Amino acid sequence: MIEAGVLEVAVLEDGPEDGWPVVLAHGFPYDAHAYDEVVALLTAHGARVVRPYQRGFGPTRFRSAATMRSGQQAALGADLLALLDALGLGTAILGGYDWGGLASCVATALWPERVAGLVSMASYDVIDVERQRHAFDPAMEHAVWYQHLFQTERGRESLAEHREELCRMLWRQWSPGWEFDDATFTRTAASFGNPDFVDVVVHAYRHAFGLAAGEPGLEDLERRLAGRPPITVPAVTLDGARDPLKPGGTAQLADLFTARHEHRVIDAGHNLPQEAPEAFADAVLTVRSWR
């Protein structure tokens, strides 16, 4: 447990303390165990791998009852910066997918001097909140049914009362070729019992739709993110070829990366680190080699 910013963050650390640092951030509805197989592949090459549990997940807790249980993108990015500070890391490679990719892209776009390199699933994953206020293709709207559900109090109740059933359904829908067992899901589902899980998740999707106010102290960061700041550090970006949340992939976002950049399409669904750990680890090692 590490005090970092507004959080007491639960962190898993592997590898030598003096190894080259990489911070791997998980998504919703997953947790730090998504990287279990990635870790061994990186520590074999001398990495110090840090895996935080996101706000609202697992043992991570807010340090004050007065802190807004925000799930907005600026909060997630600021959490990573605070963690780097708390660990005494001047720079680190950041890697993530889903919320973790969002957090990693936000931190990289806002504080590039602290990021040695980036691995991001779904390329430039910073949320364009203004675009999110408007309609997408009906097939896309169908795929993000859970986001629409969470806009309502009925949706909050559904997540609160049926969190394991709902999240297991998302795992199956988003990773159609991944045969996970009950033990794998149950290990991660324990993280959904965090007392702030529902509040953070619901706020994340309401803020992303432009339907909930953010934390006042983060508004300047949100304004900067609305300007779509480019990624200016070396980056490998990934798509899962069978990811229903990114139909057609995200290669078209390449112009938002101004340093060395490579985009890869992997035969996997949405939970790419757990479905294809070798591919995710290789992306991190590639970025490391460029440094």
Q: 10 vs 95, 152, 228, CA distance in Å?
A: 17, 30, 30
DSSP characters over 143-176: HTHHHHHTTSHHHHHHHHHSHHHHHHHHHHHH-T
Q: 102 vs 15, 72, 123, 158, 182, CA distance in Å?
A: 25, 10, 9, 25, 28
**Contact between 53 and 25 (Cβ < 8 Å):** no
| pLDDT score recorded for residue 291 | 86
Q: From CA 82, how far away is CA 88, in angstroms rounded?
A: 10
Q: From CA 129, how far away is CA 131, in angstroms rounded?
A: 5
Q: What are phi and psi of 263, to 5 degrees?
A: -110, 135
| Residue (of 250, 280, 283, 272) closest to 30 by Cα position | 272
**Contact between 99 and 27 (Cβ < 8 Å):** yes
pLDDT of the chain, 291 residues: tens digit per residue: 999 999 999 999 999 999 999 999 999 999 999 999 999 999 999 999 999 999 999 999 999 999 999 999 999 999 999 999 999 999 999 999 999 999 999 999 999 999 999 999 999 999 999 999 999 999 999 999 999 999 999 999 999 999 999 999 999 999 999 999 999 999 999 999 999 999 999 999 999 999 999 999 999 999 999 999 999 999 999 999 999 999 999 999 999 999 999 999 999 999 999 999 999 999 999 999 998
Q: List CB contacts of 138: < 8 A, sequence separation 6 or more.
A: none
Q: What are phi and psi of 65, to 5 degrees?
A: -65, -20
